[in-house]
DNA sequence: GCCAAAGTGGAAACAGGTCCTCAACTTCTT
DNA sequence: AAGAAGTTGAGGACCTGTTTCCACTTTGGC
């Protein structure tokens, strides 16, 4: 990759090495907190380094994003793997949705990656293709066990993620756990008829609803 | 308003009057199709008029939006009024959600207004304050009748709208009715335990899911 | 310590977009 | 036909983010 494209043999000077680490740390934090559309300038400031330096090290933003999110995407796949092997097939469905949202909730950049940003397309689509058979399996297993309503499909999981992603974005500052309530609602809808339910996670006041809605289009 | 601010007495020249109508029609179509962030330039082109003319007539974009969406916002309130008076309280809940989404589905601008754009804030907040008591009433009535799960709240309706709004945006081009499936899922979650269900509206293929997700962040 | 090579800072050019203006022109009205 | 009303659209102001570039600083081998 770009960082050692010039002289694979000769090691980087110590300050250069240190700056690369700073930039990676800063980029990771910035992407996590504000998302993938952050400018190089923001990352530079956060890393306490000049724009030029960021540019010299990572002329290609895609690669920076790509390598940074490798682990996060792996974590999502790991959740799916785990969901697939849970004793109770329904718990697998719950785990898969809840686990991916939890990962996405804390990380704006990851959320953008999952819900279809154009960045890092290559690595994302690789992750997606690893994910897809697992999702299918989790849903099919639940269906075979009668643990999920029979007309549910694997497609319902990513699309549920998409809908809840909007809430994650909008409510992040005012009610970071609000998604749990609406996930619970969807999960109750996904269960077969006649199952017993747990009470819904807490709601928020009408004032907070207004704030959340106001935040929805503020952030982009 | 701006259109006759100068000389309330003297009538506009015929071409000027015609242009105002063209601009209003164009703005209405553009806001409906691409949303409130459309530039004056796009509206001008659509109206077959120059940018300067648009500016002369509507120096204040807020007012243009504001007056254009008056009827649409009224339509949402009308849906809520209607929902309130339906025989079956549960049908009222369904009608309110389904009706508002149907209105929003065909109109990007209205959707942005409803889910918290900063534009037209004044008229929107007036609409919202007319809406709120109706929503509360619809939900309370359903709860009193045991037609909705007891831990549901009025807040759940706007927030459900917010989540499904993301799907409307993303799926508009590829699967414009997909929201019906996820609304049905949420509604099934909102019903009291043990009620009978209808089958879910149709899903889409995994390929279309990919397209929808890809579209999610493309449009802004 | 010295100094060449490596690396950096940050101003500035560039790119792409929207907003808005205004002087020259056209159309309407009487 | 003349003057008022209205329109045009190129162009300036501004914004945000990207990318370049070279004078300067830092490093590390000697």
Q: pLDDT tens digit string along B167-203?
A: 999 999 999 999 999 999 999 999 999 899 999 999 9
Q: Is B129 on the interface with A (CB under 8 A)?
A: no
The CATH H-level superfamily of A4-67 is Tetracycline Repressor, domain 2 (1.10.357.10)
Q: Does B144 touch chain A (CB under 8 A)?
A: no
Q: Do B209 and A116 touch (CB under 8 A)?
A: no
Tell me the C-alpha distance between A116 and A156, whole Å: 16
User: In the CATH hierarchy, which fold is given to the domain comprising B70-218?
Assistant: Tetracycline Repressor; domain 2 (1.10.357)
8 Å CB contact of B187 and A189:
yes
Does A3 or A121 have the greater pLDDT score? A121
Strand D positions within 7 A of protein Cβ atoms: 5-11, 16-22, 26-28
Quick check: B218 and A159 CB within 8 A? Answer: no
Question: What 8-state DSSP symbol labels residue A4?
Answer: G
Q: What does the DSSP assignment read for chain B?
A: -GGGSS-SSSPPPHHHHHHHHHHHHHHHHHHHHH-TT--HHHHHHHHTS-HHHHHHH-S-HHHHHHHHTHHHHHHHHHHHHHHHT-SSHHHHHHHHHHHHHHHHHT-HHHHHHHTT-STTHHHHHHHHHHHHHHHHHHHHHHHHTT-S-TT--TTHHHHHHHHHHHHHHHHTTT-TTHHHHHHHHHHHHHSPTT---PPPPP---HHHHHHHHHHHHH--
Q: Is the pLDDT of residue A219 over 60?
A: no
For residues B216 and B220, give the distance between their C-alpha atoms in angstroms, rounded to a whole number: 8
pLDDT at A212: 93
Q: What percent of chain A has pLDDT over 90?
A: 74
pLDDT, mean of residues B127-139: 95
Per-residue pLDDT band for A66 (boundaries 50, 70, 90) equals: confident
Q: How far is A140 from chain B (nearest CA, A)?
A: 14
B177 touches chain A (CB under 8 A): no
Segment B25-35 mean pLDDT: 93
With a CB cutoff of 8 Å and minimum separation 6, the contacts of B64 are B27, B58
Report pLDDT digits (tens) over A18-65.
999 999 999 999 999 999 989 999 999 999 999 999 999 988 888 888
Backbone angles phi, psi at A91, to 5 degrees: -60, -30
How is residue A101 written in tokens?
Answer: 């949202």
Looking at residue B121, its pLDDT comes to 72
Classify residue A10 by burial, with Cβ atoms within 10 Å: 0-12, 13-18, 19+: exposed
Mean pLDDT to the nearest integer, B160-171: 94
pLDDT band at B17 (very low <50, low <70, confident <90, very high): very high
Contacts of B215 in chain A (CB under 8 A): 116
pLDDT (average), residues B80-86: 97
State the pLDDT at residue B2: 38
CA trace torsion A121, A125, A126, A128 (10° rounding): 140
Is B70-218 in the same CATH topology as B4-67?
yes
Span of A106-110, B1-5, B14-18, B129-133 with lowest mean pLDDT:
B1-5
The mean per-residue pLDDT over the stretch B150-165 comes to: 96
**Can you give the pLDDT at residue A14?**
92
Q: Does A127 touch chain B (CB under 8 A)?
A: no
State chain B's mean pLDDT as an integer: 90
Q: Is the distance between the Cβ of A13 and the closest atom of strand D smaller than 7 Å? A: yes
Confidence (pLDDT) at A67? 81
- pTM here is 0.90
Cα separation of B203 and A148, whole Å?
A: 16
Confidence check: pLDDT of B70 > 90: no
Report the gap between the CA of B167 and the closest CA in chain A (Å).
6
Taking the CA of residue A113 and the C1' sugar atom of nucleotide C3, their distance in angstroms comes to 48
A216 and B168 Cβ atoms separated by less than 8 Å: no
pLDDT at B114 over 90: no
Domain ranges (residues) in chain B: 4-67, 70-218
pLDDT at B219: 57
**A149 has a pLDDT exceeding 60:** yes
Tell me which residue in B155, B187, B218 faces A203 most closely, judged by beta carbons: B155
Cα–Cα dist B193/A152, whole Å: 18
Distance D1 C1' – B13 CA (angstroms): 19
Burial of A150 (0-12, 13-18, 19+ CB in 10 A): exposed
Interchain contact, B189 vs A194, CB within 8 Å: no
């Amino acid at each position: 990759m770009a960082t050692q494209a010039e002289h694979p043999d000769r090691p980087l000077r110590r300050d250069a090495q240190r700056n690369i680490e700073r930039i990676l740390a800063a980029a990771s934090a910035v992407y996590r907190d504000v998302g993938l559309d952050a400018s190089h300038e923001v990352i530079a400031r956060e890393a306490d380094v000049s724009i030029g330096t960021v540019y010299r090290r990572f002329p290609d933003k895609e690669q920076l994003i790509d390598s940074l999110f490798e682990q996060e995407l792996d974590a999502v796949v790991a959740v799916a793997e785990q969901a697939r092997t849970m004793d109770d097939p329904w718990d697998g469905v719950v785990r898969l949705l809840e686990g991916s949202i939890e990962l996405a909730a804390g990380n704006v950049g990851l959320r953008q990656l999952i819900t279809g940003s154009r960045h890092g397309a290559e690595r994302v689509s690789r992750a997606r293709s690893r994910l897809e058979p697992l999702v299918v399996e989790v849903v099919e297993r639940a269906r075979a066990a009668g643990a999920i309503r029979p007309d549910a499909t694997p497609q319902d999981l990513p699309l549920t993620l998409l809908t809840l992603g909007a809430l994650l974005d909008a409510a992040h500052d005012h009610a970071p756990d609000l998604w749990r309530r609406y996930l619970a609602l969807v999960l109750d809808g996904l269960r077969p008829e006649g199952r017993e339910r747990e009470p819904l996670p807490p709601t928020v006041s009408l004032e907070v609803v207004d704030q959340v809605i106001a935040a929805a289009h503020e952030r982009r």
